Amino acid sequence: MSDPHRHDRHHRHPRHDEPTPSHGRWHRLAHRLTPHSHESADKLDPALESSARGLRALWVSLAVLGATAMAQAAVVAASGSVALLGDTVHNAADALTAVPLGVAFVLGRRAATRRFTYGYGRGEDLAGVVIVLTIAASAVLAAWTAVDRLFDPRPVAHLPAVAVAALAGFAGNEWVARYRIRVGREIGSAALVADGLHARTDGFTSLAVLLSAGGAALGWRLADPVVGLAITAAITLVLRDAAREVFRRLMDAVDPALVDRAERVLGEVPGVRGVGELRLRWIGHRLRAEVALVVDGEVTVRRAHRIAVEAEHALLHAVPRLTAALVHADPAPTPGETDPHLALAHHAGA
C-alpha cells in the first residue's frame, strides 16, 4: 500500500510572491493561482512497468509466432501447399509487426526534451498506423490470392500435414492475439491491441487453410478460394475496428466515462465550487489532464493552492493510468461577472 503522504514530498511549485500593484484584486489572485502543475512520482514507476510489460508481450509473441512460422515453413517445403505458404507469410509478417511497436515502447521510455516536451509516447500511435496498414495489406493479399485461385484452382498435397500445420497456425495466432489484446488493454496501448487483432486475422487465415484442406479432401477444388474470400471479409471487419481505435487515439479521444469520473471526483474535493474546462489526452499509454477549477474568491492564496493540490491528488488516484495533471484555480466571479473558463466550457458543450 502506498504512503498517502508520499505525494507531498515530490511536488515542485513555483513561487507566487512577486507583487503586482498595477492589477486589481481578483486579477492578482487569479494570476497567483495559475498554473499548478503537480507531477506524481508515484505514477512514474507504474508507467515504466507498463512499458516493460508491453515489450515483454511483444517479444514473447514474436517468439511464439516465429516458431509457428518455422514449423509451417517445413510443411510447405514438404507439401508444396500454396495456401499454407500464404498463411506462413502472414504469420511471419505478424511477428515482424512487433518490431515497430517495440521501437515505439523503447522510445516512450525516453525522457522528455526541450523539443519533445511531452516525451515520445506518441510513437505508439505511429506504430499503430503501421500495424493498421499491415492488416490492410494482409486483407489485399488474401483477397488477391482467393480471386486468383477461384479462376485457377490448384491441388493440395499431403493434406493431413497441411491440416496439422493449419491448426498449429491458428492456435499460435489465437494465443498471441489474446495475450497482446489483454496486455494492451491493461496498460492502455491501442497499438498493442491493434497488433493483437492483427494476430487474430492471421488465425482466421489458418482456419481458411484447414477448411480448404477439408474441402480438397472431399473433392471440392473451389473450397480454397471460396473460404479465402470469406476470410477476407472477416479480416476487413477486424481492420475496421483496429483503424477506428488508432484513429481515435490519434485524435486524442478518450472514453467519456473517464471524463465523467474526473468531473465527479473534482466536484467532491472540499473547496471546489465548480469545474470549468476539463481535458484528457493519451500520450502513448499514459493519460494527462488539464483542468480549470473555480474556488471561493475570498480564500487565501495558500488555501486555494491547497485545494488545487487536493484536486490533483484526487484525479491521480481516481483516473486509471493518469500520470500528470495541470490544475488551474480561478476565483468565483462576483455578481455581474462571468468566469471565462466556465463560459468557454458552456460554449463548447453547446
Tens-digit pLDDT profile for residues 134-157: 878 877 877 887 788 788 777 767
- Lowest model confidence (mean pLDDT) among 13-27, 190-204, 274-288, 298-312: 13-27
| pLDDT band for position 338 (cuts 50, 70, 90) | low
Joined together, the cell numbers standing for residue 88 give 506462413
Predicted pLDDT of residue 88: 78
Query: Residue 48's pLDDT is what?
Result: 46
User: Do residues 42 and 161 make contact, with C-beta atoms less than 8 angstroms apart?
Assistant: no
Q: Is the pLDDT of residue 75 over 70?
A: yes
Query: Three cell numbers at 256?
Result: 467519456
As a whole number of angstroms, the distance between CA 158 and CA 78 comes to 8
Average pLDDT, the chain: 76
Confidence of residue 289 (pLDDT cuts 50, 70, 90): very high
- The pLDDT, as a whole number, for residue 43 is 33
Question: Residue 337: pLDDT band by 50, 70, 90 thresholds?
Answer: low
Q: The CATH number of 44-250 is which of 2.30.29.30, 1.10.287.130, 1.10.357.10, 1.20.1510.10?
A: 1.20.1510.10
Overall size of the chain counted in residues: 350
44-250 matches 254-349 in fold: no
- pLDDT reading at 84 higher than 60: yes
Rounded to an integer, what distance in angstroms lies between the CA atom of residue 241 and that of residue 132? 10
- Contact at 8 Å (CB) between 153 and 196? no
Angstrom distance (rounded) from CA 101 to CA 158:
37
φ and ψ of 37, to 5 deg: -110, 115
Q: Quote the pLDDT of residue 279.
A: 92
Band (pLDDT 50/70/90 cuts) for residue 270 is very high
Q: Which amino acid is located at 162 in the chain?
A: V
CATH class assigned to 254-349: alpha beta
Average pLDDT, stretch 229-246? 80
pLDDT score, position 259: 92
Residues 32 and 288: their CA atoms lie apart, in Å, by 23
Q: Is it the case that residue 331 has pLDDT exceeding 70?
A: yes
Average pLDDT over residues 270-292: 89
pLDDT at residue 336, rounded to an integer: 58
User: For the purposes of burial, counting CB atoms within 10 Å of the CB of 291, is it exposed (0-12), middle (13-18) or buried (19 or more)?
Assistant: buried
Q: Supply the pLDDT for residue 224.
A: 67
Q: Average of pLDDT values for 274-302? A: 88
**Could you state, in order of their start, the residue ranges of all structural domains in the chain?**
44-250, 254-349
Lowest mean per-residue pLDDT among 54-58, 88-92, 293-297? 88-92
Query: What's the confidence (pLDDT) of residue 162?
Result: 85
346 or 171, higher pLDDT: 171
Report the C-alpha gap between 64 and 179 in whole angstroms.
11
Q: What are phi and psi of 272, to 5 degrees?
A: -85, 120
